[in-house]
Structure 1
Amino acid sequence: MNTLTNGQAEQLIQLFADRYIRKDYDAFLDLFADDIIFEFPYSQEPNPRRLDGKAALKPYLENLEKVLEITSFTPPVIHVAADAPVFFAQFEASGKLLMTGQPYEQSYISVVKVQENGRIVHYQDYWNPLAAT
């Protein structure tokens, strides 16, 4: 896939959000290549900065659901790269921190690279770790 349309990127990020909120992790993981690289550049210890492969992503999701419940995502603002299978998505999430019951409000910017088969091969998740404390 050399380029993406705005519609393809919007559909992919919508599936991402819907499947995550429903906690349908098998369907969520189907959005990714087996060798997905999932990065969290602003992550702080003890959280990982990088996950390699679906085998690492699945237990991460299962642990995350014990700490955080996201109940909604805003519609994304999508920016598609001109000559690459890459898009940028800006969106917000709301939910709660399960250990404290405090609200969780987060702004995200994600950089997403997609393979020819439409699966995500690289996902960079830029979020504010202070919102999770």
Structure 2
Amino acid sequence: MTLPTAPADLYRHGLQLLLEKNISGWVDLWDESGVLEFPFAPQGWPERLEGRQAVADYMRHYPDHVDVHDFQDVKVHHTTAPETIVVEMRGVGRLVESDAPFDMTYIAVVTVKDGRITSYRDYWNPLAVRQPGADFIGTNR
């Protein structure tokens, strides 16, 4: 299968992989030295992951924590830099441990070069998935 190389197409393909719980396929979209940043990371959570392997390690248990059923209202905004897009969307599903509903609005700034994600800034609110009596839902906590 030939992967899409345009940023918007690659991003949408990545969303489908996440819905399929294909984390390794999603990680394969990353450049070897890609950077994933979380500008709103709470204390004790990673703010920056450097390299495909760090992204893979972080995402490995994602489906064990969040069961995303759909990405809704996906809006891709093109920027003056053709390799960079800004994406608005909602992820809906459930939190696996508590079976509580999951409904999160995201904004992401994504850069793709040579058909691979080189930079991904994920502006999500980790406070929105806090479970009563539990630590934050995190893929590496």
Q: TM-score range by the shorter chain?
A: 0.7 to 0.9
**What is residue 90 of structure 1 aligned with on the other side?**
88
**What is residue 121 of structure 1 aligned with on the other side?**
118
Shift of 1:107: 0.3
Conservation of the 8 A alpha-carbon contact between 1:37 and 1:50: yes
Match of 1:33, as an amino acid? D
Match of 1:127, as an amino acid? W
The SS at the match of 1:107 is strand
Match of 1:120, as an amino acid? I
Query: Kindly tell me: are residues 39 and 52 of structure 1, through their superposed partners in 2, closer, same or farther at Cα, counting changes over 3 Å?
Result: same
Mapping for residues 1-133 of structure 1, pairs under 5 Å: 8-115=6-113, 117-133=114-130
In the aligned structure 1, how far is the partner of 2:81 from the partner of 2:15? Answer: 26
Shift of 1:84: 4.3
Shift of 1:55: 0.8
C-alpha distance after superposition, 1:65-95 (max 9, x if no partner): 2221111101421111123421100000001
C-alpha distance after superposition, 1:38-84 (max 9, x if no partner): 01111114431111111111121123222211111014211111234
In the aligned structure 1, how far is the partner of 2:65 from the partner of 2:23? Answer: 16
Q: What RMSD in Å do the two structures reach over aligned CA positions?
A: 1.7
In the aligned structure 1, how far is the partner of 2:28 from the partner of 2:108? Answer: 18
In the aligned structure 1, how far is the partner of 2:11 from the partner of 2:73? Answer: 9
Conservation of the 8 A alpha-carbon contact between 1:9 and 1:80: no
Where structure 2 has 5 or more consecutive residues not aligned to the other structure, the ranges are 1-5, 131-141
Where structure 1 has 5 or more consecutive residues not aligned to the other structure, the ranges are 1-7
Match of 2:10, as an amino acid? L
The number of equivalent residue pairs is: 126
